[in-house]
Protein backbone atom coordinates (compact mmCIF):
# COMPACT_ATOMS: atom_id res chain seq x y z
CA UNK A 1 0.00 0.00 0.00
CA UNK A 2 2.96 2.31 0.60
CA UNK A 3 3.88 1.97 -3.06
CA UNK A 4 0.36 2.96 -4.16
CA UNK A 5 0.29 6.01 -1.86
CA UNK A 6 3.73 7.13 -3.02
CA UNK A 7 2.69 6.72 -6.65
CA UNK A 8 -0.47 8.77 -6.03
CA UNK A 9 1.69 11.51 -4.50
CA UNK A 10 3.79 11.37 -7.67
CA UNK A 11 0.68 11.83 -9.81
CA UNK A 12 -0.23 14.84 -7.68
CA UNK A 13 3.13 16.43 -8.48
CA UNK A 14 3.04 15.52 -12.17
CA UNK A 15 -0.52 16.70 -12.83
CA UNK A 16 0.16 20.41 -12.32
CA UNK A 17 -0.52 22.57 -15.40
CA UNK A 18 3.16 23.45 -15.89
CA UNK A 19 4.36 19.86 -15.61
CA UNK A 20 1.63 18.63 -17.98
CA UNK A 21 2.72 21.28 -20.49
CA UNK A 22 6.33 20.12 -20.16
CA UNK A 23 5.24 16.51 -20.64
CA UNK A 24 3.28 17.24 -23.83
CA UNK A 25 6.10 19.44 -25.15
CA UNK A 26 8.61 16.67 -24.50
CA UNK A 27 6.43 14.09 -26.30
CA UNK A 28 6.09 16.37 -29.34
CA UNK A 29 9.80 17.22 -29.46
CA UNK A 30 10.84 13.60 -28.92
CA UNK A 31 8.60 12.40 -31.74
CA UNK A 32 9.79 15.18 -34.07
CA UNK A 33 13.47 14.34 -33.52
CA UNK A 34 12.86 10.58 -33.55
CA UNK A 35 11.17 10.79 -36.95
CA UNK A 36 14.31 12.21 -38.56
CA UNK A 37 16.21 9.34 -40.25
CA UNK A 38 19.53 8.52 -38.58
CA UNK A 39 18.81 10.31 -35.31
CA UNK A 40 16.43 8.24 -33.18
CA UNK A 41 15.26 8.24 -29.57
CA UNK A 42 18.72 8.28 -27.96
CA UNK A 43 19.69 11.28 -30.09
CA UNK A 44 16.38 12.94 -29.20
CA UNK A 45 17.20 12.78 -25.49
CA UNK A 46 20.78 13.92 -26.11
CA UNK A 47 19.80 16.87 -28.32
CA UNK A 48 17.07 18.04 -25.94
CA UNK A 49 19.18 17.64 -22.80
CA UNK A 50 20.36 21.30 -22.87
CA UNK A 51 16.73 22.48 -23.13
CA UNK A 52 16.12 21.35 -19.55
CA UNK A 53 19.03 23.20 -17.98
CA UNK A 54 16.83 26.08 -16.80
CA UNK A 55 14.12 23.85 -15.30
CA UNK A 56 13.81 22.51 -11.78
CA UNK A 57 14.73 18.80 -11.52
CA UNK A 58 11.14 17.53 -11.24
CA UNK A 59 9.98 19.50 -14.29
CA UNK A 60 13.08 18.48 -16.25
CA UNK A 61 12.58 14.75 -15.69
CA UNK A 62 8.87 14.96 -16.40
CA UNK A 63 9.80 16.54 -19.74
CA UNK A 64 12.34 13.76 -20.29
CA UNK A 65 9.58 11.17 -19.79
CA UNK A 66 7.76 12.68 -22.77
CA UNK A 67 10.95 12.85 -24.83
CA UNK A 68 11.82 9.25 -23.89
CA UNK A 69 8.64 7.68 -25.22
CA UNK A 70 8.11 10.23 -27.99
CA UNK A 71 11.50 9.38 -29.47
CA UNK A 72 10.69 5.67 -29.40
CA UNK A 73 7.49 6.20 -31.37
CA UNK A 74 9.32 8.44 -33.83
CA UNK A 75 11.81 5.63 -34.45
CA UNK A 76 9.00 3.36 -35.60
CA UNK A 77 7.19 6.04 -37.61
CA UNK A 78 10.12 6.72 -39.92
CA UNK A 79 10.82 2.99 -40.18
CA UNK A 80 7.27 2.09 -41.20
CA UNK A 81 6.86 4.94 -43.67
CA UNK A 82 10.34 5.30 -45.14
CA UNK A 83 12.00 1.96 -44.25
CA UNK A 84 14.49 3.96 -42.18
CA UNK A 85 14.16 3.06 -38.47
CA UNK A 86 15.46 5.83 -36.26
CA UNK A 87 16.97 3.31 -33.85
CA UNK A 88 17.99 -0.33 -33.98
CA UNK A 89 15.12 -1.25 -31.64
CA UNK A 90 12.65 -0.34 -34.43
CA UNK A 91 14.24 -2.57 -37.08
CA UNK A 92 12.07 -5.64 -36.44
CA UNK A 93 8.80 -3.68 -36.60
CA UNK A 94 9.99 -1.98 -39.79
CA UNK A 95 10.17 -5.23 -41.78
CA UNK A 96 6.42 -5.89 -41.91
CA UNK A 97 5.42 -2.30 -41.12
CA UNK A 98 6.96 -0.95 -44.31
CA UNK A 99 5.32 -3.73 -46.30
CA UNK A 100 1.98 -2.67 -44.83
CA UNK A 101 2.74 0.91 -45.85
CA UNK A 102 3.59 -0.12 -49.40
CA UNK A 103 0.32 -2.05 -49.54
CA UNK A 104 -1.62 1.10 -48.67
CA UNK A 105 -2.07 0.31 -44.96
CA UNK A 106 0.33 2.84 -43.48
CA UNK A 107 -2.32 4.36 -41.13
CA UNK A 108 -3.13 0.92 -39.74
CA UNK A 109 0.57 0.12 -39.30
CA UNK A 110 1.15 3.38 -37.42
CA UNK A 111 -1.94 2.84 -35.27
CA UNK A 112 -0.72 -0.68 -34.46
CA UNK A 113 2.67 0.72 -33.47
CA UNK A 114 1.09 3.42 -31.29
CA UNK A 115 -1.20 1.00 -29.45
CA UNK A 116 1.62 -1.52 -29.14
CA UNK A 117 3.86 1.16 -27.64
CA UNK A 118 1.10 2.06 -25.20
CA UNK A 119 0.41 -1.56 -24.23
CA UNK A 120 4.04 -2.60 -23.78
CA UNK A 121 5.02 0.62 -22.01
CA UNK A 122 2.02 0.58 -19.66
CA UNK A 123 2.43 -3.05 -18.56
CA UNK A 124 6.21 -2.72 -18.20
CA UNK A 125 5.97 0.52 -16.20
CA UNK A 126 3.35 -1.02 -13.90
CA UNK A 127 5.52 -4.07 -13.29
CA UNK A 128 8.54 -1.83 -12.82
CA UNK A 129 6.83 0.09 -10.04
CA UNK A 130 5.71 -2.97 -8.09
CA UNK A 131 8.19 -5.73 -8.99
CA UNK A 132 11.50 -4.01 -9.81
CA UNK A 133 13.44 -5.79 -6.99
CA UNK A 134 12.48 -9.25 -8.33
CA UNK A 135 13.46 -8.31 -11.88
CA UNK A 136 16.78 -7.05 -10.56
CA UNK A 137 17.37 -10.38 -8.77
CA UNK A 138 16.62 -12.24 -12.02
CA UNK A 139 19.05 -10.03 -13.93
CA UNK A 140 21.83 -10.73 -11.45
CA UNK A 141 21.77 -14.41 -12.46
CA UNK A 142 23.23 -13.58 -15.88
CA UNK A 143 26.98 -13.91 -16.30
CA UNK A 144 29.26 -14.10 -19.37
CA UNK A 145 28.19 -17.65 -20.27
CA UNK A 146 24.49 -16.71 -20.11
CA UNK A 147 24.98 -13.57 -22.20
CA UNK A 148 26.83 -15.57 -24.87
CA UNK A 149 24.10 -18.23 -24.89
CA UNK A 150 21.50 -15.50 -25.26
CA UNK A 151 23.36 -13.97 -28.21
CA UNK A 152 23.78 -17.40 -29.85
CA UNK A 153 20.06 -18.04 -29.39
CA UNK A 154 19.25 -14.70 -31.04
CA UNK A 155 21.60 -15.48 -33.95
CA UNK A 156 20.04 -18.90 -34.56
CA UNK A 157 16.46 -17.63 -34.19
CA UNK A 158 17.08 -14.82 -36.65
CA UNK A 159 18.92 -16.91 -39.24
CA UNK A 160 16.52 -19.88 -39.20
CA UNK A 161 13.13 -18.31 -38.51
CA UNK A 162 13.21 -14.77 -39.92
CA UNK A 163 14.85 -15.94 -43.14
CA UNK A 164 12.93 -18.10 -45.60
CA UNK A 165 16.07 -20.13 -46.30
CA UNK A 166 18.52 -21.37 -43.68
CA UNK A 167 21.39 -21.04 -46.17
CA UNK A 168 20.50 -17.45 -47.07
CA UNK A 169 19.94 -16.64 -43.41
CA UNK A 170 23.38 -18.04 -42.56
CA UNK A 171 25.03 -16.04 -45.34
CA UNK A 172 23.35 -12.85 -44.11
CA UNK A 173 24.40 -13.62 -40.53
CA UNK A 174 28.02 -14.09 -41.68
CA UNK A 175 27.92 -10.72 -43.49
CA UNK A 176 26.71 -9.05 -40.30
CA UNK A 177 29.39 -10.68 -38.15
CA UNK A 178 32.05 -9.61 -40.66
CA UNK A 179 30.85 -6.00 -40.42
CA UNK A 180 30.81 -6.26 -36.62
CA UNK A 181 34.47 -7.39 -36.55
CA UNK A 182 35.72 -4.27 -38.32
CA UNK A 183 37.79 -2.13 -35.96
CA UNK A 184 40.29 -2.55 -33.15
CA UNK A 185 40.07 -5.78 -31.15
CA UNK A 186 39.13 -4.62 -27.61
CA UNK A 187 41.21 -7.39 -26.01
CA UNK A 188 44.46 -7.46 -27.99
CA UNK A 189 44.36 -3.99 -29.53
CA UNK A 190 45.01 -5.39 -33.01
CA UNK A 191 43.31 -3.74 -35.99
CA UNK A 192 40.93 -6.03 -37.87
CA UNK A 193 39.63 -5.53 -41.43
CA UNK A 194 40.39 -1.80 -41.33
CA UNK A 195 42.46 -1.64 -44.58
CA UNK A 196 44.75 0.75 -42.66
CA UNK A 197 42.00 3.38 -42.68
CA UNK A 198 42.04 5.30 -39.39
CA UNK A 199 38.26 6.05 -39.41
CA UNK A 200 37.60 2.30 -39.34
CA UNK A 201 39.57 1.75 -36.12
CA UNK A 202 36.41 2.50 -34.09
CA UNK A 203 34.35 0.14 -36.23
CA UNK A 204 31.35 0.92 -38.42
CA UNK A 205 28.60 2.76 -36.57
CA UNK A 206 25.26 0.97 -36.32
CA UNK A 207 23.56 4.10 -37.67
CA UNK A 208 25.59 3.87 -40.88
CA UNK A 209 24.80 0.18 -41.32
CA UNK A 210 21.09 0.53 -40.50
CA UNK A 211 20.51 3.56 -42.71
CA UNK A 212 22.66 2.16 -45.51
CA UNK A 213 21.07 -1.30 -45.64
CA UNK A 214 17.46 -0.33 -45.06
CA UNK A 215 17.02 3.20 -46.38
CA UNK A 216 19.66 3.78 -49.05
CA UNK A 217 19.49 0.15 -50.15
CA UNK A 218 15.73 0.54 -50.62
CA UNK A 219 16.22 3.77 -52.60
CA UNK A 220 18.73 2.09 -54.91
CA UNK A 221 16.48 -0.96 -55.29
CA UNK A 222 13.47 1.19 -56.23
CA UNK A 223 15.62 3.20 -58.65
CA UNK A 224 16.90 0.01 -60.31
CA UNK A 225 13.33 -1.17 -60.93
CA UNK A 226 11.66 2.15 -61.67
CA UNK A 227 10.84 1.27 -65.28
CA UNK A 228 10.08 -2.37 -64.58
CA UNK A 229 7.79 -1.81 -61.60
CA UNK A 230 6.53 1.77 -61.86
CA UNK A 231 3.75 1.41 -59.29
CA UNK A 232 5.70 -0.48 -56.64
CA UNK A 233 6.32 2.52 -54.41
CA UNK A 234 3.10 4.48 -54.88
CA UNK A 235 0.52 2.88 -52.62
CA UNK A 236 -3.01 4.19 -52.40
CA UNK A 237 -3.88 4.88 -48.78
CA UNK A 238 -7.10 2.94 -48.89
CA UNK A 239 -9.17 1.64 -46.03
CA UNK A 240 -10.05 2.98 -42.62
CA UNK A 241 -7.46 4.95 -40.66
CA UNK A 242 -8.33 2.92 -37.53
CA UNK A 243 -7.92 -0.76 -36.80
CA UNK A 244 -10.76 -3.09 -37.74
CA UNK A 245 -11.98 -5.87 -35.47
CA UNK A 246 -9.99 -8.37 -37.50
CA UNK A 247 -6.85 -6.24 -37.09
CA UNK A 248 -7.35 -6.04 -33.32
CA UNK A 249 -8.03 -9.78 -33.15
CA UNK A 250 -4.68 -10.44 -34.82
CA UNK A 251 -2.71 -7.72 -33.05
CA UNK A 252 -3.93 -8.09 -29.45
CA UNK A 253 -2.24 -11.45 -28.67
CA UNK A 254 0.91 -10.18 -30.42
CA UNK A 255 0.95 -7.08 -28.19
CA UNK A 256 0.79 -9.29 -25.09
CA UNK A 257 3.39 -11.75 -26.36
CA UNK A 258 5.73 -8.91 -27.31
CA UNK A 259 5.35 -7.36 -23.87
CA UNK A 260 6.22 -10.72 -22.33
CA UNK A 261 9.47 -10.77 -24.34
CA UNK A 262 10.34 -7.16 -23.61
CA UNK A 263 9.87 -6.80 -19.84
CA UNK A 264 12.69 -9.12 -18.66
CA UNK A 265 15.21 -7.79 -21.18
CA UNK A 266 15.00 -4.22 -19.89
CA UNK A 267 16.89 -5.14 -16.73
CA UNK A 268 19.82 -6.99 -18.32
CA UNK A 269 22.51 -5.17 -20.32
CA UNK A 270 22.36 -7.16 -23.58
CA UNK A 271 22.49 -4.22 -25.96
CA UNK A 272 19.01 -2.72 -25.61
CA UNK A 273 15.73 -3.94 -27.04
CA UNK A 274 17.02 -5.54 -30.24
CA UNK A 275 16.95 -9.11 -28.89
CA UNK A 276 13.34 -9.08 -27.60
CA UNK A 277 12.03 -7.28 -30.69
CA UNK A 278 13.58 -9.85 -33.03
CA UNK A 279 12.47 -12.72 -30.80
CA UNK A 280 8.94 -11.30 -30.85
CA UNK A 281 9.12 -10.96 -34.63
CA UNK A 282 10.41 -14.54 -35.03
CA UNK A 283 7.66 -15.87 -32.75
CA UNK A 284 4.91 -14.10 -34.69
CA UNK A 285 6.32 -15.34 -37.98
CA UNK A 286 6.46 -18.90 -36.70
CA UNK A 287 2.85 -18.71 -35.48
CA UNK A 288 1.78 -17.14 -38.79
CA UNK A 289 3.03 -20.19 -40.69
CA UNK A 290 0.28 -22.26 -39.08
CA UNK A 291 -2.40 -20.15 -40.75
CA UNK A 292 -4.03 -21.35 -43.95
CA UNK A 293 -2.98 -18.13 -45.65
CA UNK A 294 0.23 -16.78 -44.06
CA UNK A 295 0.50 -12.99 -44.01
CA UNK A 296 4.21 -12.47 -43.34
CA UNK A 297 6.00 -11.07 -46.35
CA UNK A 298 2.87 -9.22 -47.46
CA UNK A 299 2.44 -6.88 -44.51
CA UNK A 300 1.42 -8.84 -41.40
CA UNK A 301 0.02 -6.67 -38.63
CA UNK A 302 1.36 -9.12 -36.02
CA UNK A 303 4.87 -8.37 -37.32
CA UNK A 304 4.40 -4.77 -36.21
CA UNK A 305 2.42 -5.37 -33.01
CA UNK A 306 4.78 -7.86 -31.35
CA UNK A 307 8.12 -6.09 -31.88
CA UNK A 308 6.68 -2.66 -31.07
CA UNK A 309 5.21 -3.85 -27.77
CA UNK A 310 8.48 -5.66 -26.99
CA UNK A 311 10.59 -2.56 -27.67
CA UNK A 312 8.52 -0.26 -25.47
CA UNK A 313 8.21 -2.87 -22.71
CA UNK A 314 12.00 -3.09 -22.69
CA UNK A 315 12.21 0.70 -22.50
CA UNK A 316 9.83 0.73 -19.54
CA UNK A 317 11.67 -1.90 -17.52
CA UNK A 318 15.02 -0.34 -18.52
CA UNK A 319 13.94 2.80 -16.69
CA UNK A 320 13.27 0.64 -13.63
CA UNK A 321 16.77 -0.84 -13.85
CA UNK A 322 18.22 2.66 -14.12
CA UNK A 323 16.32 4.03 -11.12
CA UNK A 324 16.61 1.00 -8.83
CA UNK A 325 20.10 -0.24 -9.73
CA UNK A 326 21.79 2.72 -11.45
CA UNK A 327 22.30 0.34 -14.39
CA UNK A 328 21.78 1.83 -17.87
CA UNK A 329 20.79 -1.07 -20.12
CA UNK A 330 20.36 0.97 -23.32
CA UNK A 331 21.87 4.01 -25.01
CA UNK A 332 18.83 6.13 -24.14
CA UNK A 333 19.00 5.05 -20.49
CA UNK A 334 22.72 5.94 -20.45
CA UNK A 335 21.89 9.49 -21.56
CA UNK A 336 19.17 9.64 -18.86
CA UNK A 337 21.86 8.63 -16.35
CA UNK A 338 23.91 11.63 -17.51
CA UNK A 339 20.85 13.81 -16.95
CA UNK A 340 20.57 12.59 -13.34
CA UNK A 341 24.25 13.28 -12.77
CA UNK A 342 23.79 16.74 -14.24
CA UNK A 343 21.52 17.50 -11.27
CA UNK A 344 23.90 15.92 -8.77
CA UNK A 345 21.91 12.69 -8.32
CA UNK A 346 23.08 9.08 -8.69
CA UNK A 347 20.41 6.51 -9.62
CA UNK A 348 20.39 3.42 -7.44
CA UNK A 349 18.79 2.12 -4.24
CA UNK A 350 19.56 5.32 -2.30
CA UNK A 351 17.83 7.49 -4.92
CA UNK A 352 14.41 6.45 -3.59
CA UNK A 353 15.43 7.57 -0.08
CA UNK A 354 17.22 10.80 -0.94
CA UNK A 355 15.06 12.05 -3.84
CA UNK A 356 11.83 10.14 -3.34
CA UNK A 357 9.56 13.01 -4.38
CA UNK A 358 11.34 13.38 -7.72
CA UNK A 359 11.47 9.63 -8.39
CA UNK A 360 7.76 9.03 -7.80
CA UNK A 361 6.84 12.11 -9.86
CA UNK A 362 9.00 10.70 -12.66
CA UNK A 363 7.35 7.28 -12.39
CA UNK A 364 3.91 8.89 -12.52
CA UNK A 365 4.96 10.96 -15.53
CA UNK A 366 5.99 7.77 -17.35
CA UNK A 367 2.39 6.58 -17.11
CA UNK A 368 1.16 9.98 -18.25
CA UNK A 369 3.74 10.14 -21.04
CA UNK A 370 2.53 6.84 -22.52
CA UNK A 371 -1.05 8.08 -22.51
CA UNK A 372 -0.15 11.47 -23.97
CA UNK A 373 1.85 9.78 -26.71
CA UNK A 374 -1.14 7.64 -27.69
CA UNK A 375 -3.53 10.61 -27.67
CA UNK A 376 -1.17 12.73 -29.78
CA UNK A 377 -0.03 10.19 -32.35
CA UNK A 378 -3.02 7.92 -32.90
CA UNK A 379 -5.19 10.66 -34.49
CA UNK A 380 -2.19 11.82 -36.54
CA UNK A 381 -1.45 8.39 -38.05
CA UNK A 382 -3.33 9.19 -41.31
CA UNK A 383 -1.48 12.51 -41.52
CA UNK A 384 1.92 10.87 -41.12
CA UNK A 385 0.90 8.29 -43.73
CA UNK A 386 0.33 11.01 -46.33
CA UNK A 387 4.11 11.28 -46.61
CA UNK A 388 3.78 8.28 -48.93
CA UNK A 389 1.66 10.30 -51.35
CA UNK A 390 4.58 12.57 -52.17
CA UNK A 391 5.77 11.85 -55.75
CA UNK A 392 8.35 9.14 -55.41
CA UNK A 393 11.19 10.98 -57.15
CA UNK A 394 10.83 13.75 -54.56
CA UNK A 395 10.23 11.32 -51.70
CA UNK A 396 13.22 9.10 -52.38
CA UNK A 397 15.47 12.05 -53.14
CA UNK A 398 14.44 13.49 -49.79
CA UNK A 399 15.11 10.18 -48.06
CA UNK A 400 18.58 10.08 -49.58
CA UNK A 401 19.34 13.61 -48.38
CA UNK A 402 17.99 12.83 -44.89
CA UNK A 403 20.10 9.66 -44.77
CA UNK A 404 23.24 11.63 -45.56
CA UNK A 405 22.39 14.40 -43.10
CA UNK A 406 21.48 11.94 -40.35
CA UNK A 407 24.70 9.96 -40.72
CA UNK A 408 26.86 13.09 -41.00
CA UNK A 409 25.18 14.65 -37.95
CA UNK A 410 26.17 11.71 -35.75
CA UNK A 411 29.89 11.78 -36.58
CA UNK A 412 30.70 14.81 -38.78
CA UNK A 413 32.78 12.41 -40.90
CA UNK A 414 32.76 12.41 -44.69
CA UNK A 415 34.25 8.90 -44.53
CA UNK A 416 30.95 7.69 -43.05
CA UNK A 417 29.17 9.01 -46.13
CA UNK A 418 31.40 6.81 -48.31
CA UNK A 419 30.62 3.84 -46.07
CA UNK A 420 26.93 4.71 -46.31
CA UNK A 421 27.08 4.48 -50.10
CA UNK A 422 29.01 1.18 -50.04
CA UNK A 423 26.63 -0.40 -47.54
CA UNK A 424 23.69 0.91 -49.59
CA UNK A 425 25.11 -0.95 -52.59
CA UNK A 426 25.45 -4.04 -50.39
CA UNK A 427 21.77 -3.65 -49.45
CA UNK A 428 20.87 -3.42 -53.15
CA UNK A 429 22.74 -6.63 -53.95
CA UNK A 430 21.17 -8.46 -51.01
CA UNK A 431 17.71 -7.48 -52.23
CA UNK A 432 18.62 -8.53 -55.76
CA UNK A 433 19.64 -12.04 -54.64
CA UNK A 434 16.96 -12.50 -51.98
CA UNK A 435 19.21 -12.37 -48.91
CA UNK A 436 17.35 -11.28 -45.74
CA UNK A 437 18.45 -8.09 -43.98
CA UNK A 438 17.39 -8.92 -40.42
CA UNK A 439 20.23 -11.43 -39.71
CA UNK A 440 22.81 -8.84 -40.82
CA UNK A 441 21.44 -6.24 -38.43
CA UNK A 442 21.09 -8.54 -35.42
CA UNK A 443 24.65 -9.84 -36.01
CA UNK A 444 26.05 -6.31 -36.17
CA UNK A 445 24.23 -5.36 -32.96
CA UNK A 446 24.97 -8.47 -30.90
CA UNK A 447 28.26 -9.57 -32.50
CA UNK A 448 30.49 -7.44 -30.23
CA UNK A 449 28.52 -8.53 -27.15
CA UNK A 450 28.84 -12.22 -28.10
CA UNK A 451 32.59 -11.88 -28.71
CA UNK A 452 33.24 -10.02 -25.47
CA UNK A 453 31.18 -12.36 -23.30
CA UNK A 454 32.70 -15.46 -24.94
CA UNK A 455 36.19 -14.21 -24.14
CA UNK A 456 35.19 -13.31 -20.58
CA UNK A 457 33.66 -16.73 -20.03
CA UNK A 458 36.72 -18.54 -21.41
CA UNK A 459 38.99 -16.34 -19.30
CA UNK A 460 37.05 -17.27 -16.16
CA UNK A 461 37.21 -20.95 -17.13
CA UNK A 462 40.92 -20.71 -18.03
CA UNK A 463 40.23 -21.85 -21.57
CA UNK A 464 37.84 -24.68 -20.65
CA UNK A 465 34.92 -24.63 -23.12
CA UNK A 466 32.80 -26.48 -20.57
CA UNK A 467 32.32 -23.23 -18.67
CA UNK A 468 29.84 -22.21 -21.35
CA UNK A 469 27.54 -25.07 -20.29
CA UNK A 470 27.86 -24.93 -16.50
CA UNK A 471 24.80 -22.72 -15.98
CA UNK A 472 21.21 -23.93 -15.97
CA UNK A 473 20.12 -20.76 -17.76
CA UNK A 474 22.71 -21.27 -20.49
CA UNK A 475 21.74 -24.93 -20.91
CA UNK A 476 18.09 -23.90 -21.10
CA UNK A 477 18.85 -21.39 -23.85
CA UNK A 478 20.92 -23.92 -25.80
CA UNK A 479 18.12 -26.45 -25.37
CA UNK A 480 15.60 -23.98 -26.78
CA UNK A 481 18.01 -23.32 -29.65
CA UNK A 482 18.25 -27.03 -30.50
CA UNK A 483 14.49 -27.58 -30.19
CA UNK A 484 13.78 -24.52 -32.34
CA UNK A 485 16.25 -25.68 -35.00
CA UNK A 486 14.71 -29.17 -35.09
CA UNK A 487 11.18 -27.78 -35.33
CA UNK A 488 12.21 -25.34 -38.08
CA UNK A 489 13.92 -28.07 -40.13
CA UNK A 490 10.97 -30.44 -39.67
CA UNK A 491 8.51 -27.74 -40.75
CA UNK A 492 10.54 -27.02 -43.88
CA UNK A 493 10.71 -30.71 -44.74
CA UNK A 494 6.94 -31.01 -44.34
CA UNK A 495 6.36 -28.01 -46.58
CA UNK A 496 8.78 -29.41 -49.17
CA UNK A 497 6.97 -32.77 -49.17
CA UNK A 498 3.59 -31.05 -49.41
CA UNK A 499 4.83 -28.99 -52.33
CA UNK A 500 6.24 -32.07 -54.07
CA UNK A 501 2.99 -33.97 -53.52
CA UNK A 502 0.93 -31.09 -54.90
CA UNK A 503 3.21 -30.80 -57.93
Rounded Cα–Cα distance for residues 430 and 216 (Å): 12
Rounded Cα–Cα distance for residues 175 and 108 (Å): 33
Rounded Cα–Cα distance for residues 53 and 328 (Å): 22
Chain Cα centroid distance, residue 243: 23
Task: Quick: pLDDT tens for 110-145.
Answer: 888 888 888 888 888 888 877 765 655 666 677 788
Task: Quick: pLDDT tens for 452-463.
Answer: 888 888 888 877
R_g over Cα of the chain:
22
**331: region left, alpha or beta (phi > 0 left; psi from -120 to 50 alpha):** alpha
Beta-bridged to residue 183, according to DSSP, are 192
Task: Quick: pLDDT tens for 381-410.
Answer: 666 666 666 776 776 787 788 778 777 876
348 vs 29: which has the higher pLDDT: 29
What Å distances lie between residue 365 and 24, 324, 371, CA to CA?
Answer: 11, 17, 10
In sequence order, what are the residues at sequence separation of 6 or more whose Cβ sits closer than 8 angstroms to the Cβ of residue 417? 404, 407, 408
Yes or no: say if 32 and 67 are a contact pair by the CB < 8 Å rule: no
- Residues 25-48: what's their mean pLDDT? 69
In 66-220, which ranges are E strands? 183-184, 191-192
| Helix H or strand E segment including 68 | helix 57-82
Domain count, the chain: 1
Q: For residue 194, how many other CB atoms are within 10 A of its CB?
A: 16
Q: Is 192 helix (H, G, I), strand (E, B) or coil?
A: strand
pLDDT band at 236 (very low <50, low <70, confident <90, very high): very low
Beta-bridged to residue 143, according to DSSP, are none
pLDDT at residue 232 in the model: 46
Beta-bridged to residue 163, according to DSSP, are none
Rounded Cα–Cα distance for residues 335 and 332 (Å): 5
- Residues 350-357: what's their mean pLDDT? 73
Which domain does 444 fall in, by range? 2-502
Q: How many helices (H) and strands (E) does the chain have?
A: 20, 2
pLDDT at residue 381 in the model: 65
pLDDT band at 422 (very low <50, low <70, confident <90, very high): very high
Mean pLDDT of the chain: 77
Tell me how far apart the terminal alpha carbons of the chain are, to the nearest angstrom. Answer: 66
Task: Quick: pLDDT tens for 156-190.
Answer: 776 765 556 778 888 888 898 888 888 887 777 77
> Which DSSP symbol is given to 239?
S
> How crowded is the C-beta side of 194, counted as CA atoms within 13 Å?
15
Enumerate the H helices of 343-437 as residue ranges: 351-354, 356-385, 392-411, 414-432
Backbone φ and ψ of 192, nearest 5°: -125, 125
Amino acid sequence: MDTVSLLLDGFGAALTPLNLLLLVTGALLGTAVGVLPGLGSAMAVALLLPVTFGLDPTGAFIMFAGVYYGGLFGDSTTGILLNTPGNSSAIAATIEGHRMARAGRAPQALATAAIGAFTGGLIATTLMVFFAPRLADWASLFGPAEYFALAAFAFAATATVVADSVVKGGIALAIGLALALVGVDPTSGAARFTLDQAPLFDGIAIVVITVGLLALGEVLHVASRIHRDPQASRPALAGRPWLSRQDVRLAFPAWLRGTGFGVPFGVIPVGGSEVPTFLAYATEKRLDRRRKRPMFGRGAIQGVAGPEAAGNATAGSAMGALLALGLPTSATAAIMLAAFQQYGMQPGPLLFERNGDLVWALLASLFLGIGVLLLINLPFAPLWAKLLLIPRHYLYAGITVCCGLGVYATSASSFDLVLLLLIGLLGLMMRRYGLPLAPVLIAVILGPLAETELRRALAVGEGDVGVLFDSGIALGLYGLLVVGAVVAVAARLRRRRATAAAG
